[in-house]
Chains A and B, each alone.
Chain A
Amino acid sequence: MKTHRWAAVMAAASLTFALTACGSGFGSSASSASQTPGKPLTILIGSSGDAETTAVKDAVAAWSAKSGVQATVRTASNLNQELAQGFAAKTPPDVFYLSADAVAGYAANGSLLAYGDALSNKADFYDSLVKNFTYKDKLYCAPKDFSTLQLVINTDLWTKAGLTDADVPTTWDQLSAVSKKLTSGTTTGLVMSGEYARFGAFMVAAGGNLMNDTSTAATANSAGNVQALQYIKDNLAAGDFKTAADVGAGWGGEAFGKGLAAMTVEGNWITGGLKSDYPNIKYKVVELPAGPSGKGTLQFTNCWGIAADSQNTEGAKALVAQLTTTDQQMAFSKAFGVMPSIKSAADAWKTANPTLVPFINGASYAKGVPTVAGSAAVVTDLNQKLAQLRSQDPATVLAATQTNLQALIK
């Protein structure tokens, strides 16, 4: 008898223990957490390197000193995973980097605070960036910076091949011709990462993109996209283009830095990478050649997300407002090469970075990546096929992507 009771007690104890702990989850809903003004803030960032980490830490420390609210910056080793854990644990960081393709997912499950519409400098952000972070007509977060893709040319290899400034390609045919001239020995004319995040620039220049500007309709199977991928495929077959994986590099910048590529298509982050890892390469940046529909490129952007479960949303909003001012964005730009997300800072940036002007010129004709929830997985799937573009049929690949994207729009 006694043993039975012991067993029952033991089992009941464990179960109750677990359930009462779980019980703290009962009754909590999607509304925001209770507020404690002045509570210390945690900021989670996905850093590209020491330069970025130091810059953000300095900026936050300066704000802390002025506002009197303590704030700590933490770098994530795996930003998406740590955000997911934070949201599920209801102890997310107060402020964090948020990429365009992650906004829809977190906005949909109520993890984000939609503070964007109340920003005082909302009108100053580039329209295309604002569109990227708008979900169900609400601006969820302030764009923190952006980058575009342009053509980066190794000037030594350029002159060695007998090319001059007049030969800078302005059409796709010229790009192929120049690339052919630059291919010799182990150097290929143009090497870029074999993924949508690079090929997409050509797709935009041909009048297409995976989705429309507001990510509400899928346009993956448009004629422009097929044309762009066919163009790349033809050049891959001819040996004038190669992917980074083909030459054993992790990304286009690595191939460029090792001299395996005379040209590459990359974003402004390449400046930092080349300076630290391959300082002997001399390069210049030019705008990508125009495609059948004119100039086009991709833009990438992140925003400052604020958690709905943050216990000091006022402090968080004040911090973000400070981090998006012209001065602060120019400081970030100097530290790790991004471009400010506000139009009023464009001139200052051009003056400070005369050799990188093509990147900011791209802002006027750049399009963003899809932002509908679940699009990241579709893009990963597309990249899997693009990695083998040589043996794939562009129309078939894009048709499959179209089906996948349409399944997400409901």
Chain B
Amino acid sequence: MTTPTPVVTPVAALVVRRHSRPGLRRSGLATLVTYVVLVGLALVYIFPFLINVVTMVKTDADAAANPLSLVPDPWSWAALHRLFLNSDFPTWFKNSIIITVAVTLGRVFFDSLAGYALARLPFRGRSVVFAGLVAVMAVPGVVLLIPKFLVVNQLGMFNSYSGLIIPLLADAAGVFIMKNFFESIPESVEEAARIDGAGAFRVFWSIVLPMATPAVVTIIILSFQGSWNELGHFIVAANDPSLTPLTKGVAQLASGALSAGSQYPVKLAAGALMTIPVAVVFFIFQRRILNAAGGAVKE
């Protein structure tokens, strides 16, 4: 049922059947050790983020003197104050929202359209297009850094929202996901509609796409994450400060644009705040993400 792809984790959820094992017992000690290791590692993974959030409300001196402590002493809003009132953070946030929403909507539409065509519509050259997509997925992003700038520049899209958004509007991996999903839908429903005379787009829009909710949600999540966290493209596509999105803005902050000293609370606040939307999306959809990616586990 599932087709694992090299780049994208399996789409459909797996259901695991666990056989009962009457003859095999796991020793209690082994389980205890396992728990200890799991909890220890989980702490290692979570603690940095706790430090991040707490340092937002510490003073610079406190952050330098007590980096591990989870209790600010004293509690200080100075970092957040500086971030919201004395920097372009609100502009960066606004730009990131605009770009991410546009890219997510665009990708959902274009990727599902192309995925449907590749899965269901026979046309000469379909395999060529498919092979081209696979090839394109192999190109490393860094090779494109300079030339994308050159193309965006030649097309006159430099320093504009279109330059930031349009190149991100389609991605091969998303088309792959949609294609795989559409192939797994039984054809009978579509066949019925086609015989009744519905055009390809009608079938796609009204019948097949509503059935593709799991895949569409996956695309939404991946596009949101991908465009929110993108950096390289934004570096080269624009340098107008009013068009700077969060990743570029926070990167500038980290390399010292706002301050000469090492004002960590401000920088960490920026990093934490830019992570919150993605974290929220993650937690809301986490069951779906983890199921789509790793298989459902009966708990």
Give me the interface of A with B, judged by CB distance under 8 Å.
Answer: 3-4, 7, 18, 21-22, 24-25, 48-49, 74-78, 81-82, 85-86, 88-89, 91, 250, 254, 273, 276-277
Contacts and interface: CB of A to CB of B under 8 A. Distances in A.
Contacts, number: 49
Contacts of B156: 21, 24
B236 A21 contact: no
Given A3-B124, A3-B125, A250-B262, A88 B153 contact: yes
B44 to A, nearest CB: 25
Contacts of A77: 241, 252, 257
Interface in B236-271: 236, 239-241, 252, 257, 260-262
Nearest to A21: B155
A254 B239 contact: no
Contacts of B189: none
Query: What are the 9 tightest A-B residue pairs by CB atom distance, in nearest-first order?
Result: A3-B124, A77-B252, A82-B239, A89-B153, A21-B155, A22-B154, A89-B158, A77-B257, A277-B261
A25 B252 contact: no
A74 B262 CA distance: 24
A254 B124 CA distance: 67
B241 A75 contact: yes
Contacts of B257: 77
B154 A21 contact: yes
Contacts of A250: 262
10 contacts: A3-B123, A4-B124, A76-B239, A77-B257, A82-B239, A85-B153, A85-B239, A89-B153, A89-B158, A276-B260
A7 B125 contact: yes
Chain B, interface size category, equals 20 to 34
A77 B257 CA distance: 6
B125 A81 contact: no
Contact of A88 (B123, B149, B235, B262): B149
Nearest to B263: A277
Contacts of A49: 260
B68 interface: no
Nearest to B123: A3
Interface string B132-173: 000000000000000001110111101100000000000000
Nearest to B129: A7
Nearest to A269: B260
Contact of B260 (A24, A25, A273): A273
A88 B156 CA distance: 12
B208 to A, nearest CB: 22
B299 to A, nearest CB: 47
A231 to B, nearest CB: 30
A7 B129 CA distance: 10
Nearest to A48: B260
B88 to A, nearest CB: 10
A48 B1 CA distance: 60
